[in-house]
Amino acid sequence: MKYYIAPPFGNHLHRPDMYSVMGTYTLLSRPGLLKSLLKTLRYSFHHKGWTNQLGLRNPGIEKGINKYYVQPHRRIISICGFNYGEWKTLAEYIRPVRRVEINLSCPNLGTKGNMGCPVELFDTNQIILKMSPLTTEEEIVMYMERGVRKWHFSNTLPIAQGGLSGKTLMAYNAKLIKFTLKEDKKAKIIGGGGVKNMSDVAWYRDLGCSGVSLGTTLFKPFALRKFTVLDEK
């Protein structure tokens, strides 16, 4: 099993045997990350997970690429575009990058599901699609037909307070993972949502995932230490 440190933690944390995901970067800067964090990041005791309304706050792809090249080993750049022109320019920026996550879902931008991406602009061997927990089977099949073989299930769940992370996602992810592997037995899937300990890692492994994403569990100091090597099933 491979480990992926999700943004924004991946912008700052790194462990030699894990992949740090940087971003998510948009073409143009979207300032206000610290303000949004202080204003909207909350723990929901009702939902037993963190909520946020960050809305992809980031310094823009140019600064992201420059940061990536400082130390590219085991780094992944996460990107998001808002229209065809932006996706095309982003594709040109990241062409030399070995691994790219395409973030299709942000509940805080007015879309409950996936925003869509012209994946034909990218080398499908290069990209991982990060999907909404509300992804439909039809969407998965559509991207499969366009050559996508690497997936990340999933981003946060849209609720009234913003995007929800945590254990709630696991039921959504299980359905998406099972369907994807039924359609493509060789698909590579990262499971993300509710991973707090090695039992959760094993749960995603047993569903057929080849990796797991570590997110809000990393709010706890030294949390990375509790995750150890686990072979794929």
**Degrees to nearest 5, angle at CA 65 with 19 and 6:** 30
Spatial strand order of the sheet with 49-52 comes to: 42-44, 49-52, 162-164, 157-159
For the chain, the domains span 2-226
Contacts of 199 (CB under 8 A, 6+ apart): none
What pLDDT is stored for residue 233 in this prediction?
65
pTM above 0.75, yes or no: yes
Residue 192 is which amino acid? G
Strands 42-44 and 127-131: unpaired
Q: Please give the distance of CA 126 from its chain centroid, rounded to a whole number.
A: 15
**138: number of Cβ within 10 Å:** 8
List, run by run, the mean pLDDT of 10-residue segments along the chain (233 residues).
95 94 97 87 91 93 94 94 96 94 87 89 96 97 98 95 94 98 98 97 97 95 89 72
Give the whole-angstrom CA distance, residue 210 versus residue 53.
29
What pLDDT is stored for residue 67 in this prediction?
93
Tell me the torsion sign for CA atoms 170, 176, 181, 182: positive
What pLDDT is stored for residue 109 in this prediction?
78
User: What would the two tokens of residue 182 be?
Assistant: 């039924």
What pLDDT is stored for residue 229 in this prediction?
84
User: What would the two tokens of residue 133 be?
Assistant: 């927990």
Fold held by 2-226: TIM Barrel (3.20.20)
